Amino acid sequence: MVKILENLYSIDHSEAKNHSMESWILDCSEATILIDGGMTPAHVEGIGKELKSIGKDWSNVDLILITHKHRDHVNNLPKLVELTDAPVKAHELEAPLIKEAVGVEVEGLKDHTVLPYCGGIEIIHVPGHSEGNSSYYLKKYKAIIAGDTIFGDENSNLMPPPERYCLDVNQATAEMKRLLNYDFDVFIYTHGKDIMKDAKKQVQALIEEHC
C-alpha cells in the first residue's frame, strides 16, 4: 500500500515492470470507497490486505466506483460485491455494459455528478477508450483519478490510450481535453507512474501535442 495523498491509497497490482496497474482506496471520515477492482484473485487479496493495514475490513467499504468496463478494472466485481455488499457506480453508458460483462448491478451516473464524499468526487465522462469511460475528480485534493483516460510509463511519460485497447482511439485522444476543465495538481492513473505535482502542465502538453 502506498499512501499517495491524505486519505488516498494506491494498491499496486503490477505483475511486471512494464505493465503497471493500480486500484485505489479513498478513506475519509464519512466513507471508504474502492475505485476499480483489479482482475485476478490475487488483486482481491491485495485490496483486502490494504484495507486491513488502514484498520478497515471489507464490511467498511461503502461504495465501489468504476472507471470503465475493461476486464482489468471490473473482473473482480462479483467477488468484491459479495465481500462488501457495497453499491457499484459508473457512468450511465458504462453501467449496463459492466453488468453485461460481469453480472453485477451497477448504478449509472450522469456526467458531472458530484458524489458527496471526501470533499466531493465528480465523475468526468471521457468517451472513446470505451463508451462510458470516465475519470474522477477529487476536488478537495486537486487530484484526478484518470483510470485509462490517459496512459503512461514508469517515468510518468504520458500518452493517449493505445489504439489496440480503444473503442475509438481518435475520440479517446480528442476527448482527453475534457480533463483540462479541472483545476488539478495531482494526476493518478491506472497504467503508469502517478504525477504528484504540477500535473496539469504535463497533461496540457500531451493534449497540445496530440489534439
Q: Where along the sequence are the contacts to Zn ion (CB under 5 A)?
A: 70, 148
By beta-carbon proximity to Zn ion, the closer residue of 13 and 70 is 70
CB 68 → Zn ion: shortest distance, Å? Answer: 5
- 49-87-112 Cα angle (round to 5): 105
CB 45 → Zn ion: shortest distance, Å? Answer: 22
8 A C-beta contact, residue 189 and residue 147: yes
CB 183 → Zn ion: shortest distance, Å? Answer: 26
By beta-carbon proximity to Zn ion, the closer residue of 43 and 70 is 70
CA dist 138 → 2, 58, 92, 154, 198 (Å): 18, 23, 19, 23, 15
Q: How far apart are CA 148 and CA 125, in angstroms?
A: 12
CB 30 → Zn ion: shortest distance, Å? Answer: 29
By beta-carbon proximity to Zn ion, the closer residue of 7 and 190 is 190
Element (H, E) at 52: helix 41-53
CB 161 → Zn ion: shortest distance, Å? Answer: 7
Nine cell digits for residue 185: 495538481
Q: How far apart are CA 89 and CA 98, in angstroms?
A: 10
By beta-carbon proximity to Zn ion, the closer residue of 70 and 200 is 70
By beta-carbon proximity to Zn ion, the closer residue of 5 and 95 is 95
